[in-house]
Amino acid sequence: MNNPNAAPNFRNFAIAAAVMSLLSMFYFQSTARPQPDQLPYSAFVTAVEQGEIRSATIQGQEVIAERSAGGIVTTYIPQGAGLIAQLQQKGVVIRAEPPPQPSLLGSLLLSLLPFALMIGIVIWLSRNAMNKQGGGGLMSIGKSKAKLLTEAHGRVTFDEVAGIDEAKEDLQEVVEFLRDPQKFQRLGGRIPRGVLLVGPPG
């Protein structure tokens, strides 16, 4: 039997997965930058001496430079190198910035995103399997699916039951005792421990 809740559950899961994918793509695009050409330090110094470097941004030991002809190059400064003096002699515009720090929140989101997607898939698969089996999961433990008989479902009375009149009268007394036990307790009556019915129904 097809479960009508399967389609909405799948749709909700698909929407959530699409939103998380779009967020991750937006984060990657916002943090990504064009990768410059990596030059050896000696080649970069040669480019500076030949006047091929227009500006340079120093971030710690990394230098990100703009060529005069266009394009971005980068190199790493060895300890004790006198690069700044060489840049000043060639009239290169020098900027100094702190090294970029990775975003803690972004790194946390990127590390948790695969686990969140995996957990979402497992939860959706388990709910889908439970719905196909007719179960309600852990929340349905202890809940009875039996329905109380009402007037709409029909009721069976003693008038509709065939059998020995004495047995019917005894059962009627048990029912009356359950409905109004104080009436019988005033006369010293006690509820029976059980009723043994022998024979086929009717």
Q: Final residue of a domain: which of 82, 115, 138? A: 138
Looking at the structure, do residues 200 and 111 belong to the same domain, yes or no?
no
Question: Is a pLDDT exceeding 60 seen at residue 139?
Answer: no
Question: Is residue 69, in this structure, part of any structural domain at all?
Answer: yes
More confident residue, 67 or 116: 67
Domain encompassing residue 67: 37-97
How sure is the predictor about 199, in pLDDT bands with cuts at 50, 70 and 90?
Answer: low
How sure is the predictor about 170, in pLDDT bands with cuts at 50, 70 and 90?
Answer: confident
**Distance separating alpha carbons of residues 65 and 84, to the nearest angstrom:** 13
Token pair for 80: 């004790």
Question: Which ranges constitute the DSSP H helices of the chain?
Answer: 6-31, 41-49, 83-89, 104-133, 165-179, 181-185
Looking at the structure, do residues 41 and 93 belong to the same domain, yes or no?
yes
Looking at the structure, do residues 23 and 116 belong to the same domain, yes or no?
yes
User: Counting beta carbons within 10 angstroms of the beta carbon of residue 87, is it exposed (0 to 12), middle (13 to 18) or buried (19 or more)?
Assistant: buried
Residue 63 DSSP SS3 = strand
Distance (Å) of CA 99 to CA 7, 58, 59, 63: 50, 9, 5, 10
Q: What is the pLDDT of residues 73-111, one digit of tens each?
A: 999 988 777 888 888 888 999 998 887 776 666 667 667
Looking at the structure, do residues 58 and 87 belong to the same domain, yes or no?
yes
Token pair for 169: 């009268």
Looking at the structure, do residues 80 and 123 belong to the same domain, yes or no?
no
Question: Is residue 152, in this structure, part of any structural domain at all?
Answer: yes
Looking at the structure, do residues 80 and 58 belong to the same domain, yes or no?
yes
pLDDT at 184: 74
More confident residue, 29 or 64: 64
Are residues 184 and 177 in contact, defined by beta-carbon separation less than 8 angstroms?
Answer: yes
**Mean pLDDT of the residues in the chain:** 72
The radius of gyration of the chain from alpha carbons, rounded to an integer in Å, stands at 41
How sure is the predictor about 52, in pLDDT bands with cuts at 50, 70 and 90?
Answer: very high
**Distance separating alpha carbons of residues 11 and 20, to the nearest angstrom:** 14
At 53, which CATH number? 3.30.720.210
How sure is the predictor about 44, in pLDDT bands with cuts at 50, 70 and 90?
Answer: very high
Question: Is residue 51, in this structure, part of any structural domain at all?
Answer: yes
More confident residue, 4 or 11: 11
Distance (Å) of CA 160 to CA 72, 163, 201: 96, 10, 12
**Distance separating alpha carbons of residues 25 and 32, to the nearest angstrom:** 10
Closest CA to 64 of 19, 104, 20, 33: 33
Task: Pick left, alpha or beta for residue 51 (phi over 0 → left; psi -120 to 50 → alpha; otherwise beta).
Answer: left
Looking at the structure, do residues 19 and 109 belong to the same domain, yes or no?
yes
Question: Is residue 1, in this structure, part of any structural domain at all?
Answer: no
Question: Is a pLDDT exceeding 90 seen at residue 55?
Answer: yes
Looking at the structure, do residues 151 and 201 belong to the same domain, yes or no?
yes
Pairing between strand 72-76 and 93-97? Answer: unpaired
Looking at the structure, do residues 21 and 118 belong to the same domain, yes or no?
yes
Question: Is residue 195, in this structure, part of any structural domain at all?
Answer: yes
| Mean pLDDT confidence for 125-134 | 71
Q: Look at the chain and report how many structural domains it folds into.
A: 3
Looking at the structure, do residues 26 and 110 belong to the same domain, yes or no?
yes
Looking at the structure, do residues 92 and 111 belong to the same domain, yes or no?
no
| Mean pLDDT confidence for 59-71 | 89
Question: Is residue 124, in this structure, part of any structural domain at all?
Answer: yes
